[in-house]
Structure 1
């Protein structure tokens, strides 16, 4: 990893979008694919801020919709790096939907995206270390290793028996 470490606040990104007719389905709700696209952009910006490099999306965790987002709502996507590994970073996203005329704001989604830093030739390169500062950041940092192991198992890149952090949740030594 790079010798210079960074704080999660260095990667904090806020992105806003207005839900327009072209973004909606026939029920005037935001299409899920459009939201995933916006989330990918916000997460990539956050990852690039941390890495100071080009990043590519490696994985997207389960994204569930708590409630529909309506035509005319303003979407706020907050993203920040929660942990760095050798060449990758995990980014947490929180999505809020706001109806400005009514003054209502509700959390719509949360998700984790993983990005890999690459050079101009597309080869992976090391990323800076992440140093969490707040209690919430430490909790997200600690949970990131378990989430990473689960991602690797689901992708067929790790055997469940090798997932030491996940096993520790269920089995005592």
Structure 2
């Protein structure tokens, strides 16, 4: 069985000039793309199959990420359906020199697992075996607008 912590991924993207808008901060579309890519990796770890984005239930931007800072994406699966996987995603701006972080973006994405014919395929149940896993799952459920 796959545990919640097995699906936990943290990835970093340095915000380069080509990633920015006219305010010299990360373009929201780039942040959403980075979140989608990392979220799909969490879903695939759980499913053991390729996964595609089915929906973005919410995507809330609260702070910008300046050019030169690092965008840290945190992702993990926290709930499953028959063929779907709900993934919590959070983005932080991180100062490269100090590691100081600030939450900038929160989202809930739903992915669907696909078989070799690109048709939805069942996913295994997700288990939570540690305090940290339970804490992450509780936080995701509390932030989920559908719960």
Q: After TM superposition, is the score higher than 0.5?
A: yes
Q: Quote the offset at 1:119 in angstroms.
A: 0.8
Gaps of at least 5 residues in structure 1 are 151-165, 167-173
Gaps of at least 5 residues in structure 2 are none
Per chain length, whose mean CA-contact separation is higher, i.e. which structure has more relative contact order (CA < 8 Å, sep 6+)?
Answer: 2
Q: Which residue in the other structure is 1:93 paired with? A: 89
Structural mapping, 1:1-173, within 5 Å: 5-101=1-97, 104-133=100-129, 134=131, 135-140=134-139, 143=141, 147=144, 150=146
Secondary structure in structure 1 of the residue aligned to 2:125: strand
Do the aligned residues in 2 keep the contact of 1:21 with 1:28 (CA within 8 Å)? yes
Q: Quote the offset at 1:14 in angstroms.
A: 1.2
Q: Which residue in the other structure is 1:157 paired with? A: none
Change (3 A) 1:45 1:138: closer
Do the aligned residues in 2 keep the contact of 1:15 with 1:76 (CA within 8 Å)? yes
Secondary structure in structure 2 of the residue aligned to 1:35: helix
TM-score by length of 1: 0.76
**Structure 1 outlier segments of 4+, above 6 Å:** none
TM-score by length of 2: 0.89
Q: Distance in 2 between matches of 1:44 and 1:110?
A: 16
Q: Quote the offset at 1:104 in angstroms.
A: 3.0
Do the aligned residues in 1 keep the contact of 2:9 with 2:76 (CA within 8 Å)? yes
CA displacement, residues 100-150 of structure 1 (integer Å, 9 cap, x when unaligned): 236532111111110000112111111010112333145257x38x958x4
CA RMSD of aligned residues (A): 2.1
CA displacement, residues 67-91 of structure 1 (integer Å, 9 cap, x when unaligned): 1110001011011110111111001
Do the aligned residues in 2 keep the contact of 1:82 with 1:140 (CA within 8 Å)? no
Q: Distance in 2 between matches of 1:103 and 1:6?
A: 31
Change (3 A) 1:26 1:66: same
Q: Larger helix proportion, structure 1 or 2?
A: 1
How many residue pairs match? The answer is 144
